[in-house]
Amino acid sequence: MRYAIIKKVSDKEFKRATGVERSTFQTMVAVVEQGLRKFGRPTTLNYQDQLLLTLMYWREYRTEFHIGIAYGVSESTVCRTIQKIEHVLLKSKQFHLPGKKALQSSETTLEIVLLDAREQPIERPQKNNEGITVARNADTLKKHKSLPI
C-alpha cells in the first residue's frame, strides 16, 4: 500500500488502514522529514512510504520479507527503514507513551486476587506383584547351562 493510493481514501478508511488519524500521520511525516538527514544515494521510498511501511509492520505484524515484496525493496532495506523511522519518532518525544508512574496515579484502586496453587494429591493405582512372575537369576543361569550345545 503506497501513499499515492492511500491518500485518496476517506479519513475513516485512512485510520482503519494505517491505525492513526490523517493529522497524526502528517505530524509524523513532518517529524521524519526533520529527523532524517539527506546524504548519500537517494532512497527508493519517500518519507510517506517509509512511514507507511513502519506503520504496516507495527499494525499488521507482517514479516519484513512480505513488506519488502509489497514495496519492491529488499528485506534488509525494510529492516533499516523501520529502525530509522522508530529512532526518529522516539527521538522527537512527541510520540512517547507516559511512563509507569504517570500511568498509575495514586487514586488508582488496586484489587488483589490470591490463588491457591498448591499441588493436590492424586490417587494413583498401587503397584503390586501379584500379576508379575519374577524369575531369579540363579534359576535362569541353571537353564542356560543345562542346554546341550
Is residue 74 domain-resident?
Answer: yes
Q: Provide the 10 A C-beta neighbour count for residue 69.
A: 14
**For residues 40 and 61, what is the distance between their CA atoms, to the nearest angstrom?**
30
Is residue 23 domain-resident?
Answer: yes
120: Cα within 13 Å, side-chain hemisphere: 4
| 54: containing domain | 3-96
Average confidence (pLDDT) over 125-146: 62
* Residue 94 confidence class, pLDDT cut points 50, 70, 90: confident
Average confidence (pLDDT) over 127-149: 61
Rounded to two decimals, what is the model's pTM? 0.63
Is residue 130 domain-resident?
Answer: no
Is residue 148 domain-resident?
Answer: no
pLDDT in tens, 25-79: 999 999 998 888 777 888 888 889 999 999 989 888 889 999 999 999 999 999 9
Is residue 113 domain-resident?
Answer: no
Is residue 65 domain-resident?
Answer: yes
* Residue 149 confidence class, pLDDT cut points 50, 70, 90: low
**For residues 82 and 51, what is the distance between their CA atoms, to the nearest angstrom?**
8
Q: Which residues fall within 8 angstroms of residue 71, CB to CB, at 6 or more apart?
A: 2, 45, 49, 53, 78
Is residue 122 domain-resident?
Answer: no
**For residues 64 and 115, what is the distance between their CA atoms, to the nearest angstrom?**
42
User: What's the structural domain count of the chain?
Assistant: 1
pLDDT beyond 80 at 98: no
- What pLDDT was estimated at residue 147? 56
- What pLDDT was estimated at residue 105? 63
The larger pLDDT score, comparing residue 4 to residue 89, is at 89
The sign one gets for the Cα dihedral 133, 138, 140, 146 is negative
Is residue 118 domain-resident?
Answer: no
C-alpha cell at 83: 529502525
